[in-house]
A and B are shown apart, each in its own frame.
Chain A
Amino acid sequence: DTGVSQDPRHKITKRGQNVTFRCDPISEHNRLYWYRQTLGQGPEFLTYFQNEAQLEKSRLLSDRFSAERPKGSFSTLEIQRTEQGDSAMYLCASSLGGQSGNGYTFGSGTRLTVV
């Protein structure tokens, strides 16, 4: 098991372009989470899935953002018509159900730069 994998590690895009990120969770984990971390801040919750069902979305997730987990395994996060304010580190995490302590594993993130 290689942990939570995120691809790509870095993405530079021009404003107005669409981007898509992928997250592969730990294989037996049924929950998958997306967070966004901007410079100088801690990660902020965006959304989470239990299997293929998206159970909660933050108001931070505007209409330009969409996340999917079609088969309950990997997930994609798409940002349409990117803006400079979307520049951030996008983190994915997974867990087996709702865990109490060390049951959540984070990936290394995708750093998005919108120019």
Chain B
Amino acid sequence: DQQVKQNSPSLSVQEGRISILNCDYTNSMFDYFLWYKKYPAEGPTFLISISSIKDKNEDGRFTVFLNKSAKHLSLHIVPSQPGDSAVYFCAGLYNFNKFYFGSGTKLNVKP
């Protein structure tokens, strides 16, 4: 059961522009949503999260938006930097003990 979906396997953006990564979910019971960044041969690294009762959370260049009526969240990176190139996973946290991950979006930021 694919409770979290990332429909774009890849995204290419020019350095300095905005990157928008999207995520859809089906489970209304998620407590939190998180974005993780993953480099090859490494584990996922926490990037930013948002409570299910919020609609926006911002941390530096990263902003996550949550649209509960559409069951959609997005991660905005502004401005994008070449070091942001990685695979980004969206995850829903259920019952504070289980993550449901999307399949990831590979972001390539071109210099």
Binding site for B on A (CB under 8 A): 4, 9, 31, 33, 35, 40-45, 48, 55-56, 91, 93, 97-102, 104-109, 111
Partner of B101, one of A40, A43, A109, A111: A43
Chain B interface, DSSP helix/strand/loop, else mixed: strand
Kindly state the separation between the CA atoms of A91 and B89 in the bound complex, as whole angstroms: 14
Nearest CB on B from A7, distance (A): 13
Assess the B43–A109 pair: CB atoms within 8 A: yes
Asked if B107 CB lies within 8 Å of chain A CBs, one says no
Nearest CB on A from B22, distance (A): 14
The interface bits of chain B over 42-53 (1 if a CB of A lies within 8 angstroms of the residue's CB, else 0) are: 111110010100
Binds A, one of B13-21, B76-84, B92-100: B92-100
Assess the B31–A48 pair: CB atoms within 8 A: no
Kindly state the separation between the CA atoms of A92 and B51 in the bound complex, as whole angstroms: 24
Which chain B residues in 14-72 approach chain A with CB under 8 Å?
A: 31-32, 34, 36, 41-46, 49, 51
Asked if B85 CB lies within 8 Å of chain A CBs, one says no
Kindly state the separation between the CA atoms of A9 and B36 in the bound complex, as whole angstroms: 20
When A42-B104, A56-B97, A56-B98 are in contact, do A102 and B49 touch as well, CB less than 8 Å?
yes
Kindly state the separation between the CA atoms of A1 and B34 in the bound complex, as whole angstroms: 24
